[in-house]
Amino acid sequence: MHPQEIIELMIVGAVIVSILIIAIFLKGRRRKNGWLLALVIFVAYCIFFVARPFWIDAQIDKKVKLLRPYLEEHYPDEKWTISTVPHRNDGFKHLNPYYIGVVFENEPEATYYYWVESKDNIYQKGRANNGLEEFKHLEKRKE
């Protein structure tokens, strides 16, 4: 389990336990409302915890679909491979799943990372190389 998930569980657990302890000291209908509030928070967090990976996947797919036309427009005669972070696998949770990696066929040693906000806001945010000194597809940041 990733440390962020442990912290989330601890915070939600503390909130639920606090509500339950307060509900113990209440009487009648208020006690039932306290128990119900704790149950609602618990169910909402469970739904969030289960649905979050699917939400991230949907957002990444949408961003990849926006990136393809951008690459076709800026590099019309080139071939490339798009890769994303396998955020559900162990060992990758510390990486930001929203950075999309692009490897161009004529420059296989370099990976360019793109950040996609919308159709009109696509930025090259970084690059990784294996000993390259010069990049062929480096883009200047629009200020």
Its pTM stands at 0.72
Tokens of 141: 């940041």
One digit per residue, pLDDT tens: the chain, 143 residues? 677 788 989 999 999 999 999 999 999 999 999 999 999 999 999 999 889 889 989 999 999 999 999 888 888 888 989 988 887 777 666 677 888 999 888 888 888 889 898 888 888 887 777 666 677 777 776 54
For the chain, give me the number of helices (H) and strands (E)? 2, 4
Read off the DSSP letter of residue 62: H
What is the residue type of 53? Answer: P
